[in-house]
Structures are given as C-alpha cells and as structure tokens.
Structure 1
Amino acid sequence: MDHKLRIGDTSFHVRTAGQGSPLVLVHGFPLDHHMYDAVFEPLAEQHQVIAVDLRGFGESDGYREIVPMEMFADDVAAILDELDIAEQVTFAGLSMGGYIAWQMWQRHRDRLSRMILLDTRAIADDEVQARARRMAAEAVLSAGMSDVPVNMLPKLLSENTRHEKPEVAKALTEMILRQDPRGVAAAQRGMAQRPNVESWLPEINIPTLVISGEHDVISPPDEMKGFAAQIPGAQFVEIPAAGHMVPMENPEAMCEAVLPFCRDLE
C-alpha cells in the first residue's frame, strides 16, 4: 500500500506491505525506496515492511538547503508515529541510510529492536571528501542530474553487475535521474557534516547485522567488518557478486541474511 503522509510542512511517500514485526527500509543516496523493490515482497512475507522516500527524494518533498542525518532520523520517527507503529522496529539502512541508522540509535533508540547496516561507514568524511560533497551539491543545483549516473555507477555497482545485469544498471540510472537536485544537494551537505560515530559502537546493545557487498569500493568489506567487530555481538555477512547496492545486485542473498537474523530474535 502506498501512503502520502502530511507531517508538518512535508509530504512523505511511504510504501507498506505484510504483517509481523515491523521492518523499516531506508534508501541510500541519491535514490528512493525503489532500490528495495527486489527484496520488498520476499521480506513482506514475514514482516510488516515500511519503505520510505526520505525528505527531498522520490515522491517526498520537504526541501531544505541542508538536511543533516539527524533530521532524516527524526523524520523516520515521525513517520512511524503517523503510521501508528508503536512496536519497536528493525531499522535497515543502506549507505546514507546507515548514517541515518546511527542517528536513530542516538536519538530514538527506544524505537529500535534491531539494526541492519548495509554498505555503510562509521567514520566521517575528511575535509577533502566533505569539500567534494559541497562542490557536488552546487553542481547538481546548477547543471541538474544528467551527469550523476555516469560518475556514480562505477562506484555503486560491481563490474560483474554492470556487464551481466544491464537491467540493474538501467533501473539504477533511471532512479538517480528522477531525483530532485534540491533534495540531492541538501543531503550531500548533510552527509558532509555527519559525525564520526566510532565511539558509539561499543555502546550499541541491540542485535545488529552488518552486510557488505563483496566488491563494494565505497564501504569496503574489511572496513565494515572492522566496525562490526566493535559492536557487541554484531553479525557480519559479506554478500557475493555485489558492490555497494546489495539489495539490487544480489537480493536473494540479502534476504537469506536478513530473514534468519530477524526470525532468530523474535
């Protein structure tokens, strides 16, 4: 079911399906909830799945000059309130969605039963990376989204996916191109100022699953395995034949990791 939720001055688009314990899917940058299309129905066979379009992405509006990761987390909490979901949720976020997961833990930990961190990082941008994000924000505002897929796809998808699954590359390209430059720029600026959360990791006391694509060059498996080891009891799974976009590149393997993790804890 598709929902249009009016929260304050912002209209959020949310897709829900299924019954069972709630599982929130938060997309990466610069995408929308459709990046989870291949796993949505399989996960909804066992869970109430809630896939959101973040502020400024997909069919959600709420444009700002900058959207910190804290604001995205507060938005997700408000969406859960609007949907009358009082039960604690499993929060799954990929890349930027993982940065939002850290803020959910910091600001709304009473809402969380578990976390699933997909292809993401615990460290902050260094000054060179932060400057590049701010420049990229200016570029999309002045030139639009047309050049973004060319620059991003080699980093988002493994070489095998790009060559063997052209339909995935096509879907990802189309998803990027339909994003509003205002939302993209605001998120870039927000990511540029996100904190290093490594000091938080030993304090995380809810079940956590860390998933990395075998060929991820943005958040490499060794880096993700390293921060997973700092979270008490965290599980780490490396997904074969995938880069940064595990839910699109190897959805079957993602579900094979996620469903037992959620089921074992119920």
Structure 2
Amino acid sequence: MSGIAIGDSGGAGVPLLCLHGIGSSGAAFDAITPMLAGRLRVLAWDAPGYAASADPEGPPGMDGYADAAVAVLDDLGIRRAHVLGVSWGGVIATRIALRHPERLGSLILADSTRGSGAAPEKAAAMRARGAELAEVGPAAFARRRAARLLSPAATEAQVTRVAEAMAAAIRMPGYGYAADSMAATDHGPRLAEVRARTLVLVGEHDAVCPPAESRLIAGAVPGARYAEIPAAGHLSNQETPEAFADSVRDFLNAAGDLLDAARNVLKEGEF
C-alpha cells in the first residue's frame, strides 16, 4: 500500500507515530504537535483513503492498516517508534503491538476501544456507516456526529470546527473500509498479549468510547497505566490539547523515552 501522506515535525527527536480516529485525519494532531515536537519527532498520517492519502485498492482490514503504518516507518528509515492512536487509530495501534511488537517503543491508546466487534449491535451500526456517508455526503454526515465527539461544555464554534474537519477528511470508499475493519475487530481476547509499555488515556466525558471501556482495556493489558483527562470528550486531543500533551509527555518522560534516537535507524536489509 502506498500513497500515504504524513505530517512530520522533523528534527532528531524520538519518533512518535500518531494515528487518527475514523472521522479525522493527521490534522487532528496539529494542536499537540508543537507541544511535543523537539524531544519528539511527531509523525501524523492520513490513513489510506483519508484526506491527502491515496485510496487503497481494496479493503485493507485491520492487519492491512497496521502493516501500512509500519511501512510508513520503513519508508522513513525508522526502526522503532512510540505509537499513539486515537479511537480507531488506537485499534490500529493495538494491532501493531500484536503484529509488529518489535517496532514499538511504547503504546498510547487514547479514547479507544477493543473494536466494534466486541458487541454485535455496535458492529452492525459500524458497518452501516459507509452507506450513510455515501447517501448524505461528508458535510451532512459530519454535522450529525460532531457534537457527540466533544464534551457537553463544548462551544458551537468548537462543534463547527470538528464538523468541518471531519467533512474535509472523509470520503468513500476509505471511510467504509475503516468502518468494516472496526466491525470485524475485537481485541479483547488478545489484550493480555500486548507487551509494550502502555498508557490508556480517555476524556472524562467521552460518550463514544467511554471511560469504562478504557478501564477495561487498561485492566487487560499487562502493566498498563490509566489516566482520564478532565472536562474532555471523545476528541480529547483536540478539545483539551494542553492536558492531552502533558499526559503523553509525562508518560514518555517516565519511560526515559525507551528509545535511543542515535540507534533508531533502519539499516539496509533489516525488517
């Protein structure tokens, strides 16, 4: 899979690969990037079929998205990275941890889930999303969802910004492929296999992937740390970027970054 667009803060910092949610793009990390850049090299992709990235030739499935994210690291010559996934991006990040554990320094799952396949009714609703997007178009689709992605205290201006950003990011068939991948995934039975040092982060008022789901994930991943971001909804990285960035920074600082930037370059023939 090729044609993936990626934002890159540059520099010699330890790489942090950021994977956005199902209704977003790499722009979802614009607010936190300057807060983390420097010690970290912040990489934020547009997933296949989103925003500036090319459409995949067919449904990648969760394995395909995980492999595509690792291929981004390969293309940049990066041996290992911290991986931060929000919502659907967290499900992809979990699959990377299971499928390519040697490529992770640590794992950050923000406002995420085991996958919609953990509940039949959620899987069915997720599968229906592609048809809805195709019927009403990105603008109307985004307006229907934007308010629920933020906390009850969000302003109308914030809701409008989220709706506009979503409408600019999503299209068919990419969104439908992503929804199908979520509907087919339940990582619950495999969370105990995750070996990466893990932070599970969630907005206090997340109504989409509520704190109870994040607590379940944190309880199942060995040694995982759990933290809530006060006053934030589902898009905690966008609604309260300072608190979100502080949580990420504190977690990685406590880990001593886990990676040696000077030795974190792929040599020809590796992997």
TM normalised by structure 1 equals 0.90
Alignment partner, residue 97 of structure 1: 89
Shift of 1:123: 4.9
Alignment partner, residue 188 of structure 1: 179
Alignment partner, residue 145 of structure 1: 138
Q: Contact conserved, 1:65 with 1:185, CA < 8 A, in 2? A: no
1:136 aligns with 2:129: yes
Relative distance call for 1:65 and 1:152 in structure 2 (3 A) is farther
Alignment partner, residue 73 of structure 1: 66
Shift of 1:210: 0.5
1:158 aligns with 2:151: yes
Distance across 2 between alignment mates of 1:229 and 1:21: 28
Q: Contact conserved, 1:144 with 1:181, CA < 8 A, in 2? A: no
Distance across 2 between alignment mates of 1:63 and 1:155: 29
Q: Contact conserved, 1:28 with 1:95, CA < 8 A, in 2? A: yes
Q: Contact conserved, 2:49 with 2:173, CA < 8 A, in 1? A: yes
Distance across 2 between alignment mates of 1:188 and 1:138: 10
Alignment partner, residue 111 of structure 1: 103
| RMSD after superposition | 1.6
Q: Contact conserved, 1:35 with 1:172, CA < 8 A, in 2? A: no
Give the one of 221, 231, 235 matched to 1:241: 231
Shift of 1:65: 4.7
Report the count of equivalent residues: 253
Give the letter aligned to residue 92 of structure 1.
L
1:264 aligns with 2:257: no
After superposition, where does 1:1-266 map in structure 2 within 5 Å? 8=1, 10-17=2-9, 18-86=11-79, 88-125=80-117, 126-161=119-154, 163=155, 166-178=156-168, 179-194=170-185, 196-266=186-256
TM normalised by structure 2 equals 0.88
Distance across 2 between alignment mates of 1:204 and 1:250: 28
Give the letter aligned to residue 42 of structure 1.
M
Distance across 2 between alignment mates of 1:259 and 1:109: 22
Unpaired runs of 5+ in structure 1?
1-7
Greater mean alpha carbon deviation, residues 95-104 or residues 179-188: 179-188
Give the letter aligned to residue 67 of structure 1.
P
Shift of 1:185: 1.5
Relative distance call for 1:167 and 1:19 in structure 2 (3 A) is farther
Greater mean alpha carbon deviation, residues 62-71 or residues 43-52: 62-71
Shift of 1:13: 0.7
Shift of 1:64: 4.3
Distance across 2 between alignment mates of 1:34 and 1:242: 19
Q: Contact conserved, 1:149 with 1:173, CA < 8 A, in 2? A: yes
Give the letter aligned to residue 222 of structure 1.
A
- Equivalent pairs: percent with the same residue? 30
Distance across 2 between alignment mates of 1:147 and 1:173: 9
Give the letter aligned to residue 171 of structure 1.
R
